[in-house]
A and B are shown apart, each in its own frame.
Chain A
């Protein structure tokens, strides 16, 4: 559900960009995927206190649309992990700008602890 909302917001925000004009336009993007193997020796909860650095593929997507006056910048990091982050900046220079951010911040105190009965 969350991902659908995020996708909808992105699409709605990009809608003004399709107003084609003779102005100079730039659409640039980058996608990176980094396979990661993590071996923690010690306090794993402290190591991952505010992050989710598990083994797996950590990805990053960046898209930038820049017209002479209108711009839009979308960034997504660690998609699918507990510290995933989506950020959308856009606006019309000289008129308005907006900043939408969805950022998950885990806070791990301990892993595998037992509660007293």
Chain B
């Protein structure tokens, strides 16, 4: 009961001081004040340390730090779409370089040393699956990547960075324009494109992606249509018909007679006329007897089968005819 009375006395005392306490009490109070003053300091320092740890919990250092050493990469990054801060979800609106390459604090601490968790889009340091997965963290919802999981490119180990680069200002961030980009791997197709009869690909009037779905699709060649014929009819509409007299192979598949990328025969034909026609018309009306000297240029009466367009000299409407007679039936007019 004596303690409260003393405190009351202390409060009332005009000359309040430590002298009113005993020496033991003074020591206790000094310790209490010391502890109370140290606690906020420790709390502040501790909090600071915790905050520091929180800021570096994802180990990021910021774009400016990266720029300090990787200035060339930074410049090419800045001209790309990825550097646009106003695009929701872009690397620039997130962690900048570290959005794709991972946190760089450890990399900076070790003075730029490798092997500290930095993700590098390199063939040696990361496999195709990991590299594509990094891009798909943001781009998985993209419409044209719907069939990426069944894409031949993915199955064959092609990753996004084989064709695209983040560090570029080119359209679609492509590493090279088409068809050079595709031809870099598809060398046999490049060879076909350079044949005498070809689609206007090398002239720059057509692109590989006009016909093929490079990010995956259905069918062996991932064409952008339900069938080969439907794809061809998108440009060659006059071949679609309907015709009064249709040529069955035309309805079945254009590739029965034609090749798509290039040929050394006219009109992208898979072989020369009349041999091409004789593959089916082996003994109808015009006997496909072996061509003799009388049917070639050498004889006195050279055959029209060997001149100019051969069978097509007469059967001009070979894709189908609307001629209302036997001439139409035989595609003569």
Chain A: residues with CB nearer than 8 A to chain B?
23, 46, 49-51, 68-69, 73, 83, 89, 93-94, 103, 105
Contacts and interface: CB of A to CB of B under 8 A. Distances in A.
B196 interface: yes
A50 B200 contact: yes
B203 A50 contact: yes
Contacts of A94: 86-89
Contact of A51 (B81, B87, B203): B203
B86 A50 contact: no
A49 to B, nearest CB: 8
Contact of A83 (B81, B86, B205): B205
Contact of A69 (B84, B89, B200): B84
Contacts of A51: 200, 203
Nearest to B200: A50
A89 to B, nearest CB: 7
Interface of B: 81, 84-89, 171, 196, 200, 203, 205
Q: Which 10 A-B pairs have the closest CB atoms?
A: A50-B200, A69-B86, A50-B203, A68-B86, A93-B87, A94-B87, A105-B205, A51-B203, A68-B84, A94-B88
Contact of A93 (B81, B171, B196, B200): B81
A6 B81 CA distance: 27
A50 B203 CA distance: 7
Contacts of B88: 94
A73 B172 CA distance: 13
Contacts of B171: 73, 89
Nearest to A104: B205
A93 B84 contact: yes
A23 B87 CA distance: 13
A116 to B, nearest CB: 11
Contacts of B205: 50, 83, 103, 105
A50 B200 CA distance: 6
B85 A105 contact: no
